[in-house]
Structure 1
């Protein structure tokens, strides 16, 4: 039988794009999601039973029969590390022979960005399982820039003059598909930083958004305390606020500034710039257009 790849988060922005690429390549897949009704209908793909990362029994049932698990990190939560560990243990119990995990650039136990610490703990657990693995440490997503720009045309946060090598979801999916469909041994034990082609300051991000939207977009640097105060009205949990604020502080610390060649080297195509992303996704900045 041909090898089978279990693609988690296959109804999402990374997993869905990876599943599309694998289907085009004729790869057999098991597609995983919390709600199988949202899964794409693809040739050579089977919709696995509903499974959440934190449910080990359901995850094992969903992964059963797969040779490789492509593990997209779970949505941010207070229990994300536990959910990841449960999903990994379920995959090992189901008999997978390899795990390819979507991690984060700068993952470390003392990373400034609190969610990057989650990824480091997950990586450590995967390393301890004894299976071949590949880690794809994505940088900040380009899609986040328009989303974190308020309707009044301001990006606010404690990023200082730091820089970030943000990347497009499409390019992450391209790298993942290349790793999953090539000789596994070539990538075993390898950690790839997956970045855009350049490192940007938030002032440069604002300038690009301004040129595209035809209005003034500004970056306003905040202090740590100002950042918490400006987000207090969202009534978010403490762990979520810490994640939001520390993501900017990680940019200030240049923990996501290094540019890698993983996208062009593994996909054969150049990584998308922020301007490229905006041309391909005009709806992403619709809220910023004059008279929107």
Structure 2
């Protein structure tokens, strides 16, 4: 028979002010959440979230998106944080960020979401369910609170609005399951005719000094990054997808990696390296590309990034 726990070991959590844990949303909470996205994994039920970047800019906006991440199926997730009760500015700005970064979902985190905002989110999610993931944006409203147990603080994330179909869509993703982050496992998921191309790109990257490769479990992509900029940290060069595609981020000039006067040059180099590249403003994709082209564009971008870093030093 299992022994009964003493009553003094059963405690009631006490509510705590989130500012005791994170005094400032931008300088304390957002960096913590970016480094601890696993706290949202179970709440949103999207599998493991992978950080793409913080303070992500888009043209025409003076402010930046707090956090950009990817879900287990490779879908981009925009995360916007706010202390106190959410307002129209954060919700509409978050939607603009999600559109600008070609996200499939927006997550708005606040201490409280009023009924009117829950109603708006429910309406948008109904529209998302009607038009499908290819054209709609799923909206997750998440309430943040903190509880204290002894000397420990426990964050609580509670979803108050979400689409009904999102969970099913993610669980039925064709990417497959498993938690193997090895290069071999990723290559095994790639089409046979694409596998040698992906292997050459990865092999080239692994030979680079200071190279960084991130493989997400249960994901359709591998992210290749290079930390050439002390101010921006790991900046994505491109991502390889197990469906045979390559993704290239064009927004380097918005992150001050490529100066404005060299944007046309960047586009020309990108076009010569990836002839089949799409014309989207930021996240372009290519198929039937050559590994040498991927290496050549990476060489150009890294060199320009290092030059810009030295100029600003």
Q: Same fold (TM over 0.5)?
A: no
Task: Report the structure, 1 or 2, having the larger helix content.
Answer: 1
Q: Whose radius of gyration is greater, 1 or 2?
A: 2
The structure with higher relative contact order (CA 8 Å, sep 6+) is 1
Task: Report the structure, 1 or 2, having the larger strand content.
Answer: 2
Q: Normalised by the size of structure 2, how large is the TM-score? A: 0.27
Q: Normalised by the size of structure 1, how large is the TM-score? A: 0.28
